[in-house]
Structure 1
């Protein structure tokens, strides 16, 4: 199995492009986009929702405007049950700052839990109050053994991983962030090729940590059925992927999308 990671830069939209993207969204989605106060926020919300549809159509048989979504008890988006059964596709998405990240997995009928997060490292974030309230004792202790220069980076590493896990569980912040621990002491070290067909850009190798330790307090938790990975998109952005429900290793692929993603609606 392969989890496809798509990275799309979030940018201002021109009027004609905005109009084309709006045609892809459902009535419900149009209402949600319209509730944002500023045009910049509207454009980010529109681009995120439209790109999800365009990326799903890279791996499924439906046109971008045909995808139908359901939402879990705590708001996690997923395909409608009929479309999930027909296509076998599972997805999750995250956006932060200037980037959108979408993960797509063809499950072949298996029941899995997929969550992703992308984080922009922010120099002004006061990490210590967050540590005390939202990190486990094991995570906090391990982080505080690092030098002051390393602590901020480790904080955002852990935050991305924790966000990806609670999104995979479909509970968001209803799942206490200190009820589980990510262990970065002995990860697998590797690289992930970021493919691109953008003119003037070449494929790049991203650092990737895999087989990250995970322990949770919930009854029946089996760490052997979870796979957590952490990568760096660039100096400012890191991303995390959590997959539950599979003991066999799942690989990652990554692509940065440019204008070719929008070719289907440029007619």
Structure 2
């Protein structure tokens, strides 16, 4: 009889469900119940206020721009780390995980120091009329920094596991490098890319510490939704905070659900072909 390392199913399942319920479901349920305590009219008035709508726009557009940038840069970085070995390779590979380990507030302070008008990068951009700190561009850069590892670390293992024989067969049939990437490699990477994109976008939506130092936090212009939730909490307006936070929660769940659907279709396409 095969022995399992973990305890039996009832105990393992019970511990897992208890952990998920205590750490994940309970806080989310508290948020939903707090928002539900508002009437439909009050709830709609809070989440559709001009300041809230402006924060949604700033957050969503910045997160979308950061995710699109990370799609190309993250894929290129994962490709380089997988296909090439160069001096300092391990150092660069370790740097990818830095946003995971670095406190987001520290990242925000560092980015502000770099991109302020008197910073290393900001002083070079200022004469060109490009201002990064305290603008939406700064928000995008902070989101790019904190969400990049999600794409690299989801794509990198798939690239490492790709069978070289597939590319060699395509080359023997006269396929160009671009055709091989587009018709052979990219379809196999699509499920991992979708997972990385959804995680990157969701992380960008909820990012707080790295953004508030570089954003300027000007209402209607550079104020993100997470900061507006924090402001409502400081005002002891817990119902408004829960209502606005529920919009982020619904958006994140919708994004993950859509991504799972696209992943399932991509996997079926890959299996058929």
TM class by shorter chain equals under 0.3
What TM-score comes out, normalization by structure 2 length? Answer: 0.24
Name the structure with the higher strand share: 1
Q: Which has the higher contact order (CA 8 A, sep 6+)?
A: 2
What TM-score comes out, normalization by structure 1 length? Answer: 0.24
